[in-house]
Amino acid sequence: MSIVNKEHRLKIGVMGSASGPQIENEHARKLATELGKEIGKRNYIFINGACPGLPNDALLGALDEGAFTLGISPAFSMHAHIHEYKSPHAHDLLIYTGMGFMERDIINIRSSDAVIIIGGGIGTLNELTIAYEEGRPIGVLTNTGGISNHVEHIIENLCQRKVAPNMVFDDDPVVLMDKLEVVVEKYPLPIHEDGRVVDADIPEPRREPRSILENETSKLEGVRSNEPGTAG
């Protein structure tokens, strides 16, 4: 069953190995493609970091199912994206951040309603920790190599934190998506940069901004009319 927000379609960010041994792993590549297809079948928007490797395998799967795909590029321009970063460009829409890899990761995460980790090395670990710290729902496609098999250990043993209740794990892309839908519904996204901040009721402004401006303008005109040499 597809979840569609009242205001927008769910945006699923897929983060994972762009290089290294994981991208040569045919099992991991197959699962990545299946994941992309599943995102497309559910009519969700697909997001990745516009990079090669496993996220690109997922992209191709999503495109096969007609998903709208968005790439968040680290490059400044299409020329730099293709020729300097040597990255794929089959997305429906590419955003050129000009921010490089690490800073681009923040845009990647904040553009996504939920994040899925496939394989992964240091760069993916950066995306994982941003998503964790900012309260994003996280799905981990296990048995795809890299950090995907060690996420719980990293969080609980190395970072001395708890696996968040909005984190799910599975080695089956379909089951993982089912689990992710549940936590997306159950745990709303934070609306502050620090996801631990709890909203208080925001009081209504005492006056509309236009009323304030008009009042201040009237005061200024009154002062000017009393200045020496000013015609009354």
| CATH label of the domain that carries residue 28 | 3.40.50.450
Query: How many CB atoms sit inside 10 A of residue 41's CB?
Result: 17
pTM, two decimals, is 0.80
Residues 6+ apart with CB under 8 A from 101: 49, 74, 123
Residue 214 counted as domain residue: no
Residues 6+ apart with CB under 8 A from 139: 114, 115, 116, 117, 167, 168, 169, 170, 176, 177, 179, 180
Domain of 18? 11-186
| pLDDT for the residue 23 | 83
Residue 216 counted as domain residue: no
Contact 120, 17 (CB under 8 A): yes
Residue 141 counted as domain residue: yes
Residue 224 counted as domain residue: no
Residue 35 counted as domain residue: yes
Question: What 8-state DSSP symbol labels residue 31?
Answer: H
| pLDDT for the residue 228 | 54
Can you name the residues that pair with 159 across neighbouring β-strands?
A: none
Whole-number Å distance between alpha carbons of 207 and 68:
43
| pLDDT for the residue 94 | 96
Whole-number Å distance between alpha carbons of 129 and 105:
10
Q: How many domains are contained in the chain?
A: 1
In the chain (232 residues long), the average pLDDT of successive 10-residue segments reads 60 94 90 98 97 96 97 95 94 96 93 96 95 95 95 94 95 98 91 55 44 55 56 46
Residue 230 counted as domain residue: no
Residue 51 counted as domain residue: yes
Residue 104 counted as domain residue: yes
Whole-number Å distance between alpha carbons of 148 and 141:
7
